[in-house]
Every structure is written in C-alpha cells, then in structure tokens.
C-alpha cells in the first residue's frame, strides 16, 4: 500500500502496514483526546486538535485506516476517561465514518489527490470537510439509542461538533500532509 | 505520564469472568434500555445495572472524577433535550407547571418525568459500561474481539493499539519537553484558531514521529509472516457455567423488554399521577 496516491483496488487492502498505521492512528487519537479544550459558547463540545489525526490518517492511508482510527481511537479515548469502550459506540462510529469518507478521497477528489503537494494538501482539507459533514450525520442514531430529539441533536450535537471539527480538519489536515510528504519520500513509501 | 487504561477491578467477580461477557453485556443491555421508556421499568433496569456494577469491585475514590464528569455530561444532555427544546411533546397534552422565560418551552409533569427517565437510562448504561473500562485487562482486548468474530487482523490492530498507548504517551511528553527547550509555550486562552495553531508544534512532530517509528513494527510483522495465515492467541478464553448464566440472564432481559414493548406500555413514557396533580391536572 502506498500512501496518498492510492490505486482504487488498493483502497480496501488490509496488510501489516494497514494494521500498524490503524493501530498507531487510534492510539495517537486516543492519547491526544485527553488534551482538548471547550469551544466557546457551547456546553459540551470540544475543539479537538486530536481529530486531525482521524482526517489525516484517513486521507494518507486509506478508508480502512481512517475508519479504524476514528472508531477505535474514540473508543480508546472513552476507555481512558473511564466511560468504557462501548458506552458511546454510535459517536465512535460517527468518528470512524468520517475517517472512512476522508479515506475514499481518491474516488471523489482524484484530481487533487493525484496532483502536486499543494493540490494534495488542499485535497486533504476538502476531504476532511466532506468527511466531517457527512460522517457525523450518524450521531442522529442517538434518537433511537438515547431518546434524544432531532432538534436537540442538531443544535447541541451535530452543528457544534461539525463546526469545531471542520475548523480542526481544514486547518490541521493540510499541515500534516505538508509535514508527512517529505518524510514519506525519505522512507521510500 | 501514565495514561494506560486502569485495571482497577482486578480480582473482582466481574474481572474473573470471560472478558467477552463484559462486552456482550454492554451490547445486550444498551439494546434493552433503548426500548424502555416507562420510568418504573427503567428504575428496575437501573437496579440491575448498579447491581452488576457492584460486582466489578471498582474503588469509588478512584473513579469519582469519572462519574462526576459522566453524570455532568448526561445531565447537560438531558436538560437541553427535554427541558429546553421540549420538542418530544409537540401534540401531546401537557400538564404545565410554567413556561421558560424567553424561549417559552413549557416545563410540565410529562417533560419532567421524561427527563428523569432519560437521565436514569443514561446512568444505567454508564454503570454497565464502566466495568469494561476497569475490569478487562488491557492485554485481553485483542483476543476478546477476535473471539467475538471480528477478523483477526482487526482484532490484532486493537491489541496493538493498547500496546502503543504507554510508549506514545511517553513520546508525547518528550515532544512537549523538546519543544519547550526550543522556547515553545503552550499558553492558554485565545480564540480556537489561535489555540489550534499553538497545538501544531506538538501535534505534527508527535504524529509524524509515531508514523516513522511504526516502520519497525511493520518490518517485524512482515518478517514473521503476519497475514499469511490464521494466527492463534496466547491467551485462551472460555465461557464457564457462571458466564453462560449471566449471558442468558441478559439475553432474557432483552427478549423480555422487546416482548413487553409490543404487548405493554413499557416503550411509552410514564408520568406519575402526583406530578400531574401537582401541575393542577
């Protein structure tokens, strides 16, 4: 598996590289989640610099790694905070879906993904935005799981989390792409 | 910095169970609670959940902060959901106490009992979820998921994730120290974008170093032929009689709640008469 410029068939490949990148991504996301700060004006939504790990790993290493990083990484964060792996499983899965959708960028942003470094960085920001807006729709499953109302989920869940993670994804994903690309060249990946 | 998962329930009755049981109980219990809205039935589920939690033997002083944080979060969710938005009660006759100033949402016997029920449902789910956090040895998660039918490569990734945590936490601290030597000041305050920018000198080297460091693990796995065949796990898991009984009990609870949902009123919110009378109904 090469990174960024991925063959369509290789998108779903699961090999030792996929496994290790997924595990590293989830562990990074889990560790960094402990260091987030509240978004001013909201009660319970953090600006999570850690979330850039999900969008970046999805973009750089594919949908399987992105899904795992978001899903398992969020569960690890909950585990470290003592809530248990599965207590907020649907929020974790929403994070995983973001990583999955960003990882599918070669299918819908091929011009940017296969372009020069600047194009790939822009592609990372766009894919992060698409992933965040679509992936977090899954939190509306709380209507059935937790009995929340759609209104409440929209105003105090979806909109704040999408706004905060859009800020994070659009700013930090391209920065991580710029930092990773030269290193990737050095490693011969 | 030690951020490894805390195995606080070590040696307790629940910690001695097959870890798959703890995971399955959460799944079954959440599926059960999701179907029940009658406050009287929810109280029964809360008793079961906290009885189960007591078997985990988790010292309360060690998890007090976790409980405070979790209960604060669900209180905020419930307050916003039922009291402030109140959208669940459109088209339903409400026995109102008063209307909230400015937004005009009625606070009624129905919305209050709904709020209490929802809060209890979340608390019950938390009580059943906490033992997974504190009564499963971190080294058992990989084999647990593998034996639950997750493809072994992904189960191995879960195992690997837990193994990476302590070393990554150490590297995180090293990165902060190294940047501080170079004059980095994390600071506090400022708008979110400014604070994000301040996280870049930590986040970027930390993430890139972790990926580069992963190359050794990839090489080691390739050299050992990872992925060429089904792998076995050093740790063997087997349900004993007690595990089966507990599992059956939670399956029965789920089946019972499902049947009751169709045949009785447990899937509908219940409002105590005294609250209705109090509201002048």
Give tens-digit pLDDT for B178-196: 988 998 876 666 677 777 8
Within 13 Å, how many C-alpha atoms sit on residue B134's CB side? 26
Tell me the two tokens of residue A44.
């319970």
When pLDDT is averaged across residues B125-141 and rounded to a whole number, the result is 89
| Domain A9-184 in this protein, CATH class | mainly alpha
Are the C-beta atoms of residues A139 and A91 closer than 8 Å to each other?
yes
pLDDT at A11: 83
Instruction: Measure the CA–CA gap between A7 and A23, rounded to whole angstroms.
Output: 22
For residue B37, is pLDDT > 60?
Answer: yes
- Sign for the pseudo-dihedral over CA of B121, B127, B133, B135: negative
pLDDT at A38: 47
- Estimate to the nearest angstrom the gap between the alpha carbon of B84 and the chain centroid: 25
Q: What percent of chain B shows pLDDT beyond 90? A: 40
**Each residue's pLDDT tens digit in chain A (189 positions)?**
545 555 556 788 888 999 999 999 999 998 888 766 544 444 455 668 889 999 999 999 999 999 999 999 998 888 777 676 777 888 999 999 999 999 999 899 988 888 899 999 999 999 999 999 999 999 998 888 777 778 878 887 889 899 989 999 999 999 999 999 888 888 776
pLDDT at A135: 95
Q: Does A10 touch chain B (CB under 8 A)?
A: no
pLDDT at A36: 60
Q: Is B270 helix (H, G, I), strand (E, B) or coil?
A: coil
Q: What residues contact residue B170 under an 8 Å CB cut-off, 6+ apart?
A: B1
Nearest CB among B26, B196, B222 relative to A168 is that of B196
Tell me the two tokens of residue B260.
């009751």
Helical axes A117-135 vs A89-103, angle rounded to 10°:
150
pLDDT at A45: 52
Closest listed residue to residue A73, CA positions, set B185, B230, A178, A65? A65
Q: Does B68 touch chain A (CB under 8 A)?
A: no
Which residues of B fall within a CB distance of 8 Å from A52? 203
Give tens-digit pLDDT for B13-34: 999 999 999 999 999 999 999 8
Q: A151–B66: do the CB atoms touch at under 8 Å?
A: no
Closest listed residue to residue B43, CA positions, set B125, B131, B128, B124? B124
Residue to mutate among A1, A16, A81, with most B CBs inside 10 A, is: A16
Instruction: Measure the CA–CA gap between B172 and A56, rounded to whole angstroms.
Output: 18
Q: A23–B160: do the CB atoms touch at under 8 Å?
A: yes
HEC string of chain A equals: CCCCCCCCHHHHCCCHHHHHHHHHHHHHHHHHCCCCEECCCCCCCEECCCHHHHHHHHHHHCHHHHHHHHHHHHHHHHHHCCCCCCCCHHHHHHHHHHHHHHHCHHHHCHHHHCCCHHHHHHHHHHHHHHHHHHHHHHHHHHHHHCCCCHHHHHHHHHHHHHHHHHHHHHHHHHHHHHHHHHHHHHHCC
DSSP string, B62-126: HHHHHHHHHHHHHHHHHIIIIIII-GGGTTS---EEEE-TTT--EEEHHHHHHHHHHHHHHHHHH
pLDDT at B57: 92
A-proximal residues of B, 252-281, CB under 8 Å: none
Instruction: Measure the CA–CA gap between B125 and A88, rounded to whole angstroms.
Output: 9
Which residues of B fall within a CB distance of 8 Å from A47? 192, 195-196
Instruction: Measure the CA–CA gap between B234 and B214, rounded to whole angstroms.
Output: 23
For residue B97, is pLDDT > 90?
Answer: no
Q: How high is the ipTM of this complex?
A: 0.85
For residue B8, is pLDDT > 70?
Answer: yes
Nearest CB among B37, B157, B206 relative to A22 is that of B157
Chain A residue at shortest CA distance from B6: A80
- Sign for the pseudo-dihedral over CA of A92, A95, A99, A100: positive
Q: What residues contact residue A179 under an 8 Å CB cut-off, 6+ apart?
A: B204, B205, B207, B208
For residue B1, is pLDDT > 60?
Answer: no
Give tens-digit pLDDT for B215-265: 889 999 999 888 888 778 888 899 999 999 999 999 999 999 999 999 999
DSSP class of residue B6 equals: P
Give tens-digit pLDDT for B52-76: 999 999 999 988 988 998 899 889 8
pLDDT at B276: 86
Q: A44–B221: do the CB atoms touch at under 8 Å?
A: no
For residue B87, is pLDDT > 60?
Answer: no
pLDDT at A68: 96
DSSP class of residue B5 equals: P
Helical axes A159-187 vs A51-61, angle rounded to 10°:
50
Q: Does B29 touch chain A (CB under 8 A)?
A: no
Distance spanning both ends of chain A, measured CA to CA: 8
Q: What percent of chain B shows pLDDT beyond 70? A: 93
Instruction: Measure the CA–CA gap between B29 and B123, rounded to whole angstroms.
Output: 12
pLDDT at A39: 46
Query: Mean pLDDT in chain B?
Result: 87
When pLDDT is averaged across residues B103-132 and rounded to a whole number, the result is 88
Q: What residues contact residue A174 under an 8 Å CB cut-off, 6+ apart?
A: A121, A122, A124, A125
pLDDT at A41: 46
Q: Where are the domains of chain A?
A: 9-184
| Residue B2 confidence class, pLDDT cut points 50, 70, 90 | low
Within 13 Å, how many C-alpha atoms sit on residue B88's CB side? 27
Beta bridge partners of A28: none
């Amino acid at each position: 598996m090469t990174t960024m410029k991925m063959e369509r068939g290789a998108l779903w490949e699961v090999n030792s590289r996929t496994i290790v990148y997924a595990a590293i991504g989830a562990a990074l996301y889990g560790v960094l989640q402990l260091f987030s700060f509240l978004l001013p004006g909201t009660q319970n939504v953090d600006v999570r610099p850690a979330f850039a790990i999900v969008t970046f790993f999805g973009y750089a290493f594919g949908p399987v790694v992105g899904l795992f990083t978001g899903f398992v990484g969020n569960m690890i964060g909950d585990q470290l905070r003592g809530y248990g792996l599965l207590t907020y499983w649907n929020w974790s899965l929403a994070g995983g879906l973001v990583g999955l959708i960003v990882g599918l960028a070669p299918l819908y942003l091929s011009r940017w993904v296969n372009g020069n470094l600047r194009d790939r960085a822009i592609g990372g920001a766009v894919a992060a935005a698409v992933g965040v807006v679509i992936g977090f729709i899954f939190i509306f499953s709380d209507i059935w799981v937790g009995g929340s109302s759609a209104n409440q989920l929209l105003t105090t869940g979806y909109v704040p989390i999408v706004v905060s993670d859009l800020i994070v994804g659009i700013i930090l994903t391209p920065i991580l792409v710029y930092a990773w690309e030269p290193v990737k060249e050095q490693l011969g990946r | 910095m030690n951020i490894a998962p805390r195995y606080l329930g070590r040696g307790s009755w629940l910690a001695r169970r097959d870890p798959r049981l703890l995971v399955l109980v959460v799944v079954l219990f959440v599926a059960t609670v999701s179907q029940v809205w009658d406050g009287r039935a929810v109280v029964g589920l809360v008793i079961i959940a906290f009885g189960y939690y007591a078997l985990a033997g988790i010292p309360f002083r060690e998890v007090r902060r976790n409980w405070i944080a979790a209960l604060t979060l669900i209180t905020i969710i419930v307050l916003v959901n039922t009291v402030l938005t109140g959208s669940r009660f459109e088209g339903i006759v409400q026995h109102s106490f008063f209307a909230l100033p400015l937004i005009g949402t009625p606070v009624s016997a129905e919305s209050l009992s709904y709020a209490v029920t929802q809060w209890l449902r979340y608390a019950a789910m938390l009580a059943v979820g906490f033992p997974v956090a504190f009564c499963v040895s971190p080294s058992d998660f990989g084999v647990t998921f593998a034996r639950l039918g997750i493809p072994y490569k992904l189960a191995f990734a879960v195992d690997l994730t837990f193994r990476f945590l302590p070393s990554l936490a150490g590297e995180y601290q090293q990165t902060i120290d190294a940047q501080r030597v170079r004059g980095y000041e994390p600071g506090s305050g400022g708008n979110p974008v400014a604070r994000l920018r301040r996280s870049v000198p930590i986040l970027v080297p930390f993430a890139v170093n972790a990926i580069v460091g992963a190359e050794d693990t990839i090489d080691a796995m390739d050299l050992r032929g990872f992925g060429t065949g089904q792998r076995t796990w050093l740790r063997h898991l087997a349900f004993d009689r007690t595990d089966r009984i507990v599992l059956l009990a939670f399956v029965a609870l789920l089946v019972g709640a499902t049947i009751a949902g169709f045949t009785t009123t447990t899937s509908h919110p219940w409002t105590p008469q005294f609250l209705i009378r109090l509201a002048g109904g």
